[in-house]
Structure 1
């Protein structure tokens, strides 16, 4: 089978044997897998949180199963990381901090003609059956949307809140779309890419700003009668993006750190401003099964049309070109199809 993996620090497309199943495992034929920013960070050695297995947004068809409730031919989504739900962190409401959360993964990764879902994930709800009217491409959005669902639950968006989204790649745009579902009022967004700034209007953003051409902090305050955003969602790991997001938040407002900063990121920021302005900062990392179930429900009910974000599609053989296109920034969501 054809697979995209990391080998000696580089991406290679190679033929591998199909994974062998043990009791409880499931083998899936990949149909669609989203290319995530974290995949690109892993490729370039910038990701800080996990082993370099590529492809964690897959959907596909079950090829082989060792469990009764999952049958060959079933259309499914598979989650790559699943917590134990029994440890201290899980019981205290921090399941993505579970010591087992990142120990399991898809084998050899989602960018493969076939991949194995380990029994650990399967028994804990890591596979969801897709309704007939949910496409494989829509299924590939379950994991990224789930991380947005969890993050916005953690930060809390109240009715009518002004939400400022910093960084409007696919994740930032999912945040903007989800903020509307959560009854935000004004949604403002910023990026340094003209393509993404213009694209944001297609998914319902009210004001979209180019941070290279505008003083976004001043603009956000102008649009909010001088106050700043009630909630700022920073969907970028750039230090300048983080700082602009904090500075654009009103007194007493809330800041969500969502984008993963590069290794060694340091902010030049006067921490006393957080206390003096009573700004709350919350971080959110990944998602668990209650979030994937909610994400599937949102997609299936068409509350969010995730397919509007797909700008490019590639095959496994074209993976390196897909990475190039995604990295250059003139794309939103890139999907790999088998």
Structure 2
């Protein structure tokens, strides 16, 4: 079978054996897998959070199963990282910090004709059946939307809150859409790309600013009677994005650190501002099964139209072209399919 494998920092299309199943495993034929910014960061050597396996947003069809409740032909989403739900971290409400969480993954990754979902994931809820009204492309949004749902739960968006999303890539735009679902009053966006800012307006942003043109914190304060936003969401790993959020949030406000900072990120920021202005910084990393179930519910009930974010589709053989346009900022969301 064909699969994209990361070798010496380069994604290579290779012929590899179809994975053999152990008891409890399932084999999935990939039908759609989203290209995530973290995939690009892994290729560029910038990603700090997990092992260098590519493709973690897949949906497909069960090709072979060793468990009774999953049958050949079932349409499914598969989660790549699943905690044990038994350790100290899981019991204390930090399941993504579970020591087993990042040890689990899809074999050989989601960008493959077939991939194996290990028994660990299957037995702990890492497989969801897709209802008939959810396409494979929509199913590929379950994992990224789940991370947004968990993050917004952690930072807590209250009814009528003013929200700023810094970074209008696909994850930032999912934050815009989900913030509206969660009752935000106004949602503003900041991005250096006019293309992405225009897209943000299309999916519900009330205003979008280019920090190359205006000082975002000044514009935000004009729109909030001088206060700043209640919640600032950092959906970029750039240090400048973090600073924009910190300077744009009101006294007593909340900052969500969501985008993964690049290796070696250092901020030139006066930390006393955090205490003096009682600003809370909340980080959120990945998602677990309660979040993937909620994401599927949101998608299936059409509370969010995730397909609005899909601008490009590529076959597995065209993977490097998908990465190229993603690096150049010419896409919102690219889907790889077989």
Question: Same fold by TM (over 0.5)?
Answer: yes
Q: Distance in 2 between matches of 1:133 and 1:121?
A: 25
Greater CA drift, 284-293 or 322-331 = 322-331
Q: Distance in 2 between matches of 1:81 and 1:36?
A: 15
Q: Distance in 2 between matches of 1:109 and 1:186?
A: 38
- Are 1:158 and 1:182, in contact at CA under 8 Å, matched by a contact in 2? yes
State the Cα distance separating 1:330 from its structure 2 match: 1.8
Q: Distance in 2 between matches of 1:53 and 1:75?
A: 23
3-state SS, counterpart of residue 204 of structure 1: coil
3-state SS, counterpart of residue 173 of structure 1: helix
Q: Distance in 1 between matches of 2:321 and 2:330?
A: 13
User: Equivalent residue for 1:296?
Assistant: 296
State the Cα distance separating 1:39 from its structure 2 match: 0.2
User: Equivalent residue for 2:103?
Assistant: 103
3-state SS, counterpart of residue 109 of structure 1: coil
User: Equivalent residue for 1:243?
Assistant: 243
Alignment TM-score, normalising by the size of structure 2 = 1.00
Deviation readout 1:34-89 (Å, 9 max, x if unpaired): 00000000001000011100000000000000000000000000000000000000
3-state SS, counterpart of residue 269 of structure 2: coil
State the Cα distance separating 1:25 from its structure 2 match: 0.3
Q: Which runs of 5+ in 2 are unaligned?
A: none
User: Equivalent residue for 1:120?
Assistant: 120
Matched, 1:187 2:187: yes
User: Equivalent residue for 1:225?
Assistant: 225
Aligned CA RMSD, in angstroms, stands at 0.5
Alignment TM-score, normalising by the size of structure 1 = 1.00
3-state SS, counterpart of residue 90 of structure 2: helix
Q: Distance in 2 between matches of 1:166 and 1:330?
A: 18
- Are 1:203 and 1:308, in contact at CA under 8 Å, matched by a contact in 2? yes
Q: Distance in 2 between matches of 1:261 and 1:9?
A: 19
Q: Map residues 1-338 of structure 1 onto 2, 5 A cutoff.
A: 1-338=1-338
Q: Which runs of 5+ in 1 are unaligned?
A: none
Q: Distance in 2 between matches of 1:8 and 1:228?
A: 45
Between Structure 1 and Structure 2, how many residues are aligned?
338
Q: Distance in 1 between matches of 2:209 and 2:316?
A: 35
- Are 1:196 and 1:330, in contact at CA under 8 Å, matched by a contact in 2? no
